[in-house]
Structure 1
């Protein structure tokens, strides 16, 4: 553990979390991976331990802790080898609840944030649409004001927790002709009349429910508008920095887990009278992979420290996701190779890790889009400023 960022209290939290995951989550993982359904009881157990409230202020029943507690939660979730379960948890806490924490008013926080902290409501985030992912300004879902309500029509896709969740933080056009200035954010109950969900069949993240959602004349109270009309794009862009850093942290953690497992395997697997960790070609390749992981991990910690101080880390978080997810794919691909035929067998962890890792360079902004964002900052000298500035 890097003592530059982690205190003794952090370490105690990590050990407690490890114990909790082994006792309460790991025994159920195979079932959830097979069924694609995470049983509801585990949400309450997470809540009882305070894990949903790490970043939520105490005034709304959270713990108000620094971001390195979040790092620990993300890292340990990656080490139980279910990217889907991990995604369901962090999508609830750091996609849906982040918007409630930052942009919800007191009434909305009491109605949605506090129940989310207590595991009574499960949240999701709805930005991506079937006709466009990274092109947020091009979304087609609309919200039309009628009296004290908005009428929502459109669709969203690739929504984690969209099938079994309780609410969605939904982006929609309130002024379609205004481009990104016409986007607003709403809290929509997923059991509302006119909401329908189609569960998607995925390559990886099998334990999590991922939905394509349709909204057909869904009536939403005007009180469920977050902030003001037209502020949605700003809210989304601000939240992207945290989402991308989270995916970078997830990536270095799963790469570290893959390397630890593979090193143990190589120390036990013998060919021609010696363990395979004694073959120079394999030793040196593993060292290169470990070095790549270590560089990404240290970078991600440094970015976390900056974000925790309040810095607006759009460039750094984008780099984190771009480089860390690419690194994780390469590490896990090679670790599977080190296991030979056993790496291709589902009874060993690398097959699932390979499938789960592949979403890293896609979700939360594809690597191609991230390179263009970084190019605009570095080459075109574009400046991204915090909404309050």
Structure 2
């Protein structure tokens, strides 16, 4: 009967451990990969450290309760010790930050020093070994995560050291085989669940990043697409209104008479021309001292967001530089006589703009003015009074 009750208690504890471990891991993954909540983004490092401390403190307190106060009915059972070992390891591998491993070192050392009933050579050695293994995991996290054998091996080593440390903290007498079967079996089962769930979450995150990249990158040119442009305009405008950033400008670029290239040659040639223009635009953005980001809005239309306050004179110099870049482009393998020109419209964000689209609308209006006036022209926002 006693064995059945112990087995029932073990199974319930095992299920609880698995649920709590997966839930905690999911929560930390959410914090570290959240890209929508501005509070989380702004305070991610502090949040992970504070929540890590709270979670580990809770587990250490429950472990103390398990070890010292709640073993009268079923004998010694270190349910929460397994949770501590898994949490220590997961948080190190998830955060890979010195502050995280230092926090865990303080908690492990305090737990041992404050609650041990006896200091033994083996106990002190096991404590130091536990800490050393945590630092080893931190220093080699990337390499360990790439190889399952190393990952499982490091967790097993940490589990052995931590379990030995806790065993040496008290005078438990002769602990029976059932105890060690429950302890080692529980750690192995929940450890496998944790590591495999971690790998599965890693695959999910990588897939989500690929989907996000495909949704934000133009497949033909590799530039950020219109969706990214709109999102960045929204973020710029919100930061501008809050006073976090200063004035910024938008350049809209349209290739002149691009339809002739497609009609004269073919669309594959047109795609090659668009890729060449994108390369020039990328170089243009990278060399702009004010800081800029390039986008393809669709078709032969491109854009640039310049993150600085620039005068009309400077805006003209930037626009002319890109026109010169296009004029130098040659396509000898297609037709050496191909010459490219573009029309450009520029606008700057204004204090009385109502939405993030207003600056884009103004740049688009100036672009239309350039094209209507004869193409290969530049129309700019006037200097502010």
TM-score (norm 2): 0.28
Q: Which has the higher relative contact order, 1 or 2, with Cα contacts under 8 A spaced 6 or more apart?
A: 1
Give 1 or 2: higher helix fraction.
2
Give 1 or 2: higher strand fraction.
1
TM-score (norm 1): 0.28
